Amino acid sequence: MTKSPVEILNNPFENKGTAFTEKERQSLGLVGLLPPYVQTLDDQAKQTYAQLQTKTSDLEKRIFLMEIFNENRVLFYKLFSQHVVEFMPIVYDPTIADTIENYSDLFIQSQNAVFLSIDDPDSMKASLKNAADGRDIRLIVVTDAEGILGIGDWGTNGVDISVGKLMVYTAAAGIDPSQVMPVVLDVGTNNQDLLKNPMYLGNRHERITGDRYYKFVDQFVNTAEDLFPKLYLHFEDFGRDNAANILNKYKDQITTFNDDIQGTGIIVLAGILGALNISKQKMTDQVYLSYGAGTAGAGITKRIYDEFLQQGLSAEEAKKHFYMVDKQGLLFDDDQTLTPEQKPFARSRSEFANADELTTLEAAVKAIHPTILVGTSTQPGTFTEAVVKEMAAHTERPIIFPLSNPTKLAEAKAEDLIKWSDGKALVATGIPAADVDYNGVTYQIGQANNALVYPGLGLGVIASTAKVLNDEMISQAAHSLGGIVDGNKPGAAVLPPVSKLDQFSFTVAKAVAQSAVDQKLNQEPISDVDQAINDVKWEPKY
């Protein structure tokens, strides 16, 4: 069925606005429906960018950019690709946290997202089909919004994290925006502010948990897999009680990925490899402390631990290098509240004379002398001067990554970490951080955010037609990010800069696709990995 002229103008995948040529206007019936002058994509990008400059706050800028996204995907991605460093914190984290908190109040349109309600499971298949509208869906980002960044439960509002993560996939790695689908599983919310807000657009009841919840997730996975056989399914921001369960259930069955567990594990391993490249130290000499051992914290710890095993340590030797601190303090194996992911890294009280006193980060740091401290605690300002000075007293180049997002939840600011450690700390942050000038050296701060890897990883998985995403592919992704930064330059960052996001996304994609092919995980024949990646890569052009 051919689309009417108005339908074409209202379809963001087809609309070119003022860039429709005379010929296209004639053949599509658009003559007179647009101002007469024909613009190029570059003209449109220039004009739109100039309009963006009139907006003063990041939230206003994001709302304006979303209007472009709603109207014309090619133009949106052209602009995004021209201004990646400037747009990332506006389109994505941290500004996205504000738009999630205010999603219902700010709602304009659904941006091709799918809202699946636990109260109406029978409509699920039709909803997914209707939203696809005949498109060949290769990538879904799904959330149930129980653990959005560090800001908690945001119900239906959380759909914006699915939309936002997908924008980064396209901008960073050229995933075709017409082949993606953002999904929210609305299973209710326990966020009382939302339930009380008359503007709230989601289901107005408490979260459904247990069997009914897992059945709903399972119905979603099966329905999506049936409808879209080439699907790569990305889970985002599920709660601590469910995220790992869901990943473990599906990871060997379908092509799937949990960003908070696996994506964060990759970027932190890459950051640590980068830091050790600068300090010229060995991984297996490090002592690792996870602060906030939840979904991300435990996922990262497992990835670093697996690296110790790969570097030749036995499980028993490797475990001696790992510690976790959560709400209750240092985690011990007699604690009945440990999660399954925490258990392997819990210690015995008999290892410490003062075990019962190790209930704070500072006490734990004093007792353990970690060389690496990674924060995923959602507790702002907890990497204090005392903690940092204590670490720096026992190790030459402490590796300190405060990763909690958004900005207001970060465990520390990069500039404080540099100052308190007298320029010794090797720092990466979850959100972008400006350079730090200290004692005549300019320190560049790497961004250890999973956004630096999941796009390339996804491109590699999709291009390789891999049946599953396994640990070997994940490890290759982390290692591929090494060597991009010159570790001999004073003040060098531990990770490559966001300005090179498109280049290293390709590097990551290659490593992942090659690994899939080497392991014979590809479902379709692939003779040339570069070619396979280039074949699926999309570019913003008319």
Ligand X SMILES: NC(=O)c1ccc[n+]([C@@H]2O[C@H](COP(=O)([O-])OP(=O)(O)OC[C@H]3O[C@@H](n4cnc5c(N)ncnc54)[C@H](O)[C@@H]3O)[C@@H](O)[C@H]2O)c1
Ligand Y SMILES: O=C(O)C[C@H](O)C(=O)O
| 3-class SS of residue 115 | strand
Q: Backbone phi, then psi, for 462, in 5-degree steps?
A: -65, -45
Q: Among the candidate windows 136-144, 235-243, 393-401, 434-442, which touches Mn ion by CB under 5 A?
A: 235-243
Residue whose CB is nearest to ligand X in the complex, by number: 294
Angstrom distances, CA of residue 384 to CA of 218, 289, 381, 390, 413: 43, 15, 6, 10, 10
**DSSP bridge pairs for 181:** 140
In angstroms, rounded to a whole number, what is the distance separating the alpha carbons of residues 376 and 300?
A: 10
Residue 316, burial from CB neighbour count under 10 angstroms (0-12, 13-18, 19+): exposed
The string of DSSP letters for 159-186 reads: HHHHHHHHHHHHHHH---GGGEEEEEEE
Question: 236 among the known binding-site residues?
Answer: yes
A 10 A CB-CB count for 82 gives: 14
Contact characters 139-158, ligand Y, x per CB under 6 A: ----------x---------
Say whether 92 is catalytic.
yes
Minimum separation from the CB atom of position 359 to ligand Y (A)? 26
Say whether 37 is catalytic.
no
Identify the residue among 153, 260, 326, 341 touching ligand Y (CB under 6 A): 260
146 binds Mn ion (CB under 5 A): no
- Which among 367, 383, 448 is positioned nearest to 419, based on CA atoms? 383
How many chain residues touch ligand Y (CB under 6 A)?
Answer: 8
**Cis check: omega of the bond before 490, within 30 degrees of 0:** no
**DSSP bridge pairs for 233:** 140, 256
Which one of 61, 165, 302, 510 is the catalytic residue?
A: 165
Contact characters 239-268, Mn ion, x per CB under 5 A: ---------------------x--------
Quick one: angle between helices 243-250 and 295-310, nearest 10? 50
237 binds ligand Y (CB under 6 A): yes
Q: Which does 329 bind (CB under 5 to 8 A by kind): Mn ion, ligand Y, ligand X, none?
A: none
Identify the residue among 45, 69, 93, 365 touching ligand Y (CB under 6 A): 93
Minimum separation from the CB atom of position 275 to ligand X (A)? 15
Question: 449 among the known binding-site residues?
Answer: yes
Question: 237 among the known binding-site residues?
Answer: yes
Q: Backbone phi, then psi, for 276, in 5-degree steps?
A: -70, -25
215 binds ligand X (CB under 6 A): no
* DSSP H or E segment with residue 48: helix 41-52
Q: Which does 480 bind (CB under 5 to 8 A by kind): ligand X, ligand Y, Mn ion, none?
A: none
Contact characters 269-308, ligand X, x per CB under 6 A: ----------------------xxxxxxx-----------
Question: 405 among the known binding-site residues?
Answer: yes
Q: Give the binding site for ligand Y (CB under 6 A).
A: 93, 149, 237, 259-260, 405, 449-450
- List active site positions: 92, 165
Q: Give the binding site for ligand X (CB under 6 A).
A: 147, 149-150, 240, 260, 264, 267, 291-297, 325-327, 376-379, 403-405, 409, 430, 448-450
Specify binding-site residues for a divalent metal cation: 236-237, 260
